[in-house]
Amino acid sequence: MYFESVDALWHMAGHGPYVWSCYGLFIVLLAANVWHARSERKQALKQAQAFIRRNSNYQANTYVDAP
């Protein structure tokens, strides 16, 4: 490691707040994007499953009702 201690890594000779906030921002915003993409996919999957359920019910009903 370049720094002597974890404390030095945290402070970075006075530049700590700047460096850590940049890394934090990078991680948080990108993670939010990945999370958003994933939730979008989950929602789409749910919708597709609901579509199947609706559809199979409909088919079953027509089948039962048919003379």
Partner 1 sequence: MAQFNWRMPRWFHQMGSPKWFYNFGGLLQPWFTLAAFLLLTCGMVWGLAFAPADYQQGNSFRIMYVHVPAAILSQSVFLSMAIAGAIGLIWKMKIAFMVARSCIAIGATFTLIALVTGAIWGKPTWGAYWVWDARLTSTLVLLFLYAGVMALNQAISERQIAGKATAILAIVGTINIPIIKYSVEWWNTLHQSSSFSLTDKPTMPSEMYLPLLLTVLGSYFLFGLVVLTRTRAQILQTQNGASWLMQHKDISGAK
Q: Which chain residues interact with partner 1 by CB under 8 A?
A: 1-3, 9, 12-16, 18-19, 21-23, 25-27, 29-30, 32-34, 36-38, 40-41, 43-45, 47-49, 51-52, 55
- Min CB(22)–partner 1 separation in Å: 4
Residue 52 or 66: which CB sits closer to partner 1? 52
CB of 48 to partner 1, least distance (A): 5
Q: Give phi and psi for 27, each to the nearest 5.
A: -65, -45
Encode 11-67 in three state secondary structure: HHHHCHHHHHHHHHHHHHHHHHHHHHHHHHHHHHHHHHHHHHHHHHHHHHHHHHHCC
Of 27 and 60, CB closest to partner 1: 27
